[in-house]
Amino acid sequence: MSNLYIPVCAFFCSLLLIIVFFSKKNVKTKETKIFSVLLITSFIDTIIMVLIIYIGYVDADNIKLLVLLNRIDFIQYLVWAWMFYLYIYYITLNIKEKSLKGYNIVVRTTFIINLIILILILVLPVDIYNVNNVMYSYGLATNCLYVTCGLYLFLIIVTVLVNIKNIKNKKYVPVFALIFLAVILLIVRQFNPGLLLISAVLTYINLIMYFTIENPDLKLIKELNFARNQALEANNAKTDFLSSMSHEIRTPLNAIMGFSQALSEEDIPKSAKEEISDIVSASESLLEIVNGILDISKIEANKLEIINTEYDFNKILKELVSLTKARLGDKPLEVKVSFDPTIPPILYGDHLRLKQIILNLLTNSVKYTKEGYIKFEVSSIIKDDVCRLIISVEDSGIGIKKEKIDKLFTKFERLDADNTTIEGTGLGLAITKKLVELMRGNIVVQSVYGKGSKFTVAIDQKIVNKPYIEEKETTFEEFNAEGKKVLIVDDNVLNLKVAARLLQNYNVAITQVTSGFDCLVLINNHEYFDLILCDDMMPKMNGAETLKQLKKIEGFSIPVVMLTANAISGMREKYLNDGFDDYLSKPIQKIELNKIIKKFLKNNKL
């Protein structure tokens, strides 16, 4: 019975391998399915082998049963060899050019061959040698099986050698193990044919495969990494697409808003001015939608950064109140304001994002409140060097249905969209919540449908302990920059016209070129300018490349301002890091343009 030791060990090892493999979540690939067949076949083989040895000892005269069990065992060997060959053939195919058509042809061809061999195994004689505790099978059926398995081994080696470039190193291991153990089996069989090692060898090869190329955990990690890389590529593609679309949408908007602003200053009929005002208002709404889509995409791609700086909180509050009142239009709304006077004047945080959060809430209230009031309150809790701002925006608007509150911060979800004609994308609150979370704050909503809503935000900001110097309020004022020369570089002729029209009021001498190459020619020809406004997305040589070439020119010191429709969050910082002196986004806002002119072309006031 000593011959039972190895098959019994193989049985328990095979059983354990099956339990571990099938208890885990497996990636559903073709090679994994083939491997599962290898495991099952090997396990059945160990059971049959134990039965053959046991019956051979306790009922040696029952030759018919032993022959039947040997024939069944031969079938298991044949199936295992076939599956192993198909496995090796499949994994050696070039993944990028994997052709299942060729694989299916191989499957059908080998299936027909196996069917013929199966018939021969069932028909050809099998003899059993069982003398002095040494038992093994021999005969034509056995020889037929060995020749077939040898043929499969030869095909495996040829397949690997032909496709050696398409197979990863660790996938060679089972093949090398099979070749090595097959040679050992042949040698052992010559000296001791009664030592039944085939079941153990098959189990051992399955074990090697499990720990090298078929481990479910490793495969899942590989699939997850692949999915992660695909997601990253998709996000990058989306960001690039949005950047391009931002440029394409902002370019015509720049013309619409620029010319509208210029026309509003002309001596034209009152009705025409009102219509121009409507055009500007509609353009600003479209710009707000574009900015919202870009912001939400940036947040989802984890590319929106919180940039903390010192800021004047009182100034932010005044700007917010002013912007809110400007958006009321002819609505009979009372804006109630209440600010905690103990809030430190200078705080440290991302004031731009804080302003965006509050403005989104105020704008939302203006949109959904026809009459009544909007109450804007800010209180604080101060502890050590941290000021917790408690910001609430309450209104007497349409309110929110109870079942809708959970969906309130979902993208493209609008308040009571079925019963209102108010326009919007439903991005404002989604962006607000994500910004609050990025700033490690909290937002809470309370609402009674038909009576109004209240949004409360709590955000911590650091206190800056230094004397507060009140800034003098400056009204919008244009400067006479007569004698100054400005070069505008933009491949879009319409954008050149807009920029030139807005610069007319400053009495500057304007030169226009449509490429970075033309800009370099002028500077290399010793043309002097006091300021260069340069677009970024230009063919052949973009704005950043143009700046690099300009800085290579000896003695170049002209300030260069990036004038671009690429206004995705974070682009200002990028352009400043690239070496630009400042940044101006399209559509060009008169106030922002005035700041640039004031900064670089100071002269007498108009």
Pairwise pLDDT comparison (409 vs 89), residue with the higher score: 89
Contact 360, 428 (CB under 8 A): yes
pLDDT at 187: 66
Average pLDDT over residues 351-376: 89
Question: If pLDDT is split at 50, 70 and 90, which confidence band does 327 have?
Answer: confident
**pLDDT tens digits for 11-47?**
998 899 889 888 877 667 788 888 899 999 999 999 9
**pLDDT tens digits for 158-191?**
887 777 766 555 556 666 766 677 667 666 665 6
Q: Could you identify the residue written with the tokens 């038909």?
A: 450
- Say yes or no to pLDDT of 469 above 60: no
Average pLDDT over residues 372-378: 94
216-264 and 270-300 helices, crossing angle to 10°: 170
Question: If pLDDT is split at 50, 70 and 90, which confidence band does 459 have?
Answer: very high
Question: If pLDDT is split at 50, 70 and 90, which confidence band does 421 have?
Answer: very low
The mean of the pLDDT values for the chain is: 81
Question: Among residues 461, 367, 353, 447, which one has the least CA distance to residue 414?
Answer: 367
How far is residue 580 from each of residues 176, 503, 525, 561, measured CA to CA in Å? 61, 20, 22, 6
Which residues is 443 bridged to in the sheet? Answer: 457
pLDDT at 375: 94
- Say yes or no to pLDDT of 549 above 50: yes
Average pLDDT over residues 242-255: 70
- At 509, give phi and psi (nearest 5°): -85, 125
Pairwise pLDDT comparison (281 vs 171), residue with the higher score: 281
pLDDT at 99: 64
pLDDT at 380: 93
Contact 455, 436 (CB under 8 A): no
pLDDT at 455: 93
**Beta strands at 442-448 and 386-395: parallel, antiparallel or unpaired:** unpaired
Token pair for 24:
């885990």
Which residues is 563 bridged to in the sheet? Answer: 584
Q: What is the DSSP-derived secondary structure letter of residue 344?
A: -
**pLDDT tens digits for 83-133?**
988 988 887 775 445 567 778 888 899 999 999 999 999 999 998 887 776
Pairwise pLDDT comparison (478 vs 493), residue with the higher score: 493
pLDDT at 422: 47
Cβ-based neighbours of 305, under 8 Å, separated by 6 or more: 570
Q: What is the DSSP-derived secondary structure letter of residue 446?
A: E
- Say yes or no to pLDDT of 460 above 60: yes
Cα radius of gyration (the chain): 39
Pairwise pLDDT comparison (128 vs 456), residue with the higher score: 456
Pairwise pLDDT comparison (87 vs 136), residue with the higher score: 87
Amino acid at the residue 354: L
pLDDT at 530: 92
Average pLDDT over residues 318-345: 87
Q: Cα–Cα distance between 327 and 134 in angstroms, integer?
A: 99
- Say yes or no to pLDDT of 446 above 50: yes
Percentage above 70 pLDDT, the chain:
79
Average pLDDT over residues 530-546: 89
